[in-house]
Structure 1
């Protein structure tokens, strides 16, 4: 009934395939529904099938306990509020709660009391997304937009004319997937400095799959992010801390390359790195639990930084002007 209500006309073969039963079972079930007074009609012929009487809607019944509970775990209150839909989500949940049977209503209420989803990552302030409602409106209504966007490379501020295809929220950050010229690209919504809706509309490709695009984008991003490799010795504690300091893809690659521990219990691993400068900061976070073996340039840079720290914190404390290492050897934790 729900399939026919949401999709309209469907053949017995289509229903059988969707419900994973035989066509004979569909015929038998249709007879039972018709006998129960459901306004269900069947049309014969090549364009025939089963349909419900126009305007007929089933009540919200038949939910299992797990289904009812999962509905109250699926919401994202933070992102919904950023989209201006916080009150709408609350109203929808109230209506759903009122429609549930008493026993399911009680269990759904306990879910809300005992589980809370906080999507953003630790140690970061929330990003300003003042243009998010306008972006979402353009996505929904298929309107082109003109934006002034700040990116990481020069020139930092650029003008872009976009066809917005979809929005993705990852780790509390909003990303816009949009066509610019001939390419589909990803834009961080917080980096949109100005936005002007344009009067003309565009046609979103029927074959564009936002989920598939995003998965491919993440895979490509990870591949571009890690262009080199470093061989590192890790103490047992360093090997354990690796999972808390680096991305899952890097940790997986390192663990797959791990050799048997040596006599001191240290393990040699091969770690994908973005660049020498970025890797210096990455491995320094492991402190004395990591020894970089190669490449030689990375080992030298880590050693030079450690020497600077020794001069800075040693018994004969030096001022920054006393440090002998050239300034160009000091690398920030993140490249800009």
Structure 2
């Protein structure tokens, strides 16, 4: 660990120029006393750095010195591919490796591209999860085990919760890859009926099997995921509802209003009666469902229940 920290300290000084002991301690998450010891160790090893006291003081490398110790380890190379999503790297246990990889990549760049990369980092940020998602919660406890099985090509025995009966199933799977979509992790895994997709946060328990596997020839995770999304979207809206909406309801539902300032009648695609029931209730009095009858009846029953509850 100390060798890695010494290299990180050296790369920090190379990338950023002068840094105080307090700044280095904050970056390395160690005490200032530890920074002093590490700086002494680097100086004893022949690294040309010097320190200055006072307001403009701090440690810096002799002008022109650049270390060549910028080769990436395997773990750092993995993390580099997650550079746009530091949260994902941290969830997979690669947060520290990502930080070191970025320092090494930055140190390896000539001065002008290095300055350009710094401006990009300062001015652009990718924040993938949606506003109302629950991506801020702690990562699922099985994510690390799943990622390890994906990397080592080891089969898993999953106990999984799904939305339809039977709700809990047990299944042997061969984990091909992980996908992070809108703040959620999905496992793409092979099984008796071909590749399937599992939400990692719905895995109740798992056991890694002492069985290695080989992914099918030609299997391409990005291509499979694109096909999965296309199929999902094709199945998403298989029904239709006839509704009346106010001008506000039309706006929220994405319907073109009649222009008369009153109610607008429209046909809108729905995924299912159950899903539409929840979505239309969000519009409150801004919508009236005319058909299908089972959807209208279900919403009416919910409204009656709510009215009775609030009259108590």
TM-score normalised by length of structure 2? 0.66
In the alignment, what sits opposite 1:206?
217
Counting matched residue pairs gives 233
1:239 paired with 2:265, answer: no
CA distance, structure 2, for counterparts of residue 72 and residue 274 of structure 1: 36
Does the 8 Å CA contact 2:244/2:266 hold for their aligned counterparts? yes
In the TM superposition, what is the alpha-carbon distance from 1:309 to its structure 2 partner? 4.0
In the TM superposition, what is the alpha-carbon distance from 1:205 to its structure 2 partner? 1.5
CA distance, structure 2, for counterparts of residue 276 and residue 165 of structure 1: 34
In the alignment, what sits opposite 2:284?
287
1:151-197 deviation per Cα after TM superposition (whole angstroms, max 9, x unaligned): 22333332211111111110111111111113211111122222222
Please give the secondary structure, in 2, of the residue aligned with 1:149: strand
Does the 8 Å CA contact 1:72/1:112 hold for their aligned counterparts? no
In the alignment, what sits opposite 1:130?
141
Distance 1:208 1:284, change over 3 A: same
Which ranges in structure 2 are unaligned for 5 or more consecutive residues?
1-69, 72-79
CA distance, structure 2, for counterparts of residue 184 and residue 216 of structure 1: 12
CA distance, structure 2, for counterparts of residue 157 and residue 72 of structure 1: 35
Q: Please list, as runs of the form range in 1=range in 2, the aligned pairs for 1:125-164 lying within 5 A after superposition.
A: 125=134, 126=137, 128-164=139-175
Please give the secondary structure, in 1, of the residue aligned with 2:179: strand
1:103 paired with 2:112, answer: yes
Distance 1:205 1:128, change over 3 A: same
CA distance, structure 1, for counterparts of residue 81 and residue 172 of structure 2: 38
In the TM superposition, what is the alpha-carbon distance from 1:77 to its structure 2 partner? 0.7
Q: Identify which of 277, 300, 303 aligns with 1:306.
A: 303
In the alignment, what sits opposite 1:117?
126
1:274 paired with 2:271, answer: yes
Does the 8 Å CA contact 1:73/1:117 hold for their aligned counterparts? no
Please give the secondary structure, in 2, of the residue aligned with 1:175: strand
CA distance, structure 1, for counterparts of residue 159 and residue 308 of structure 2: 46
* Higher deviation after alignment, 135-144 or 168-177: 135-144
Which ranges in structure 1 are unaligned for 5 or more consecutive residues?
1-58, 61-70, 244-254, 320-336
1:80 paired with 2:77, answer: no
TM-score normalised by length of structure 1? 0.61
Distance 1:105 1:234, change over 3 A: farther
In the alignment, what sits opposite 1:187?
198
CA distance, structure 2, for counterparts of residue 229 and residue 288 of structure 1: 20
1:112-134 deviation per Cα after TM superposition (whole angstroms, max 9, x unaligned): 23333222222343264222222
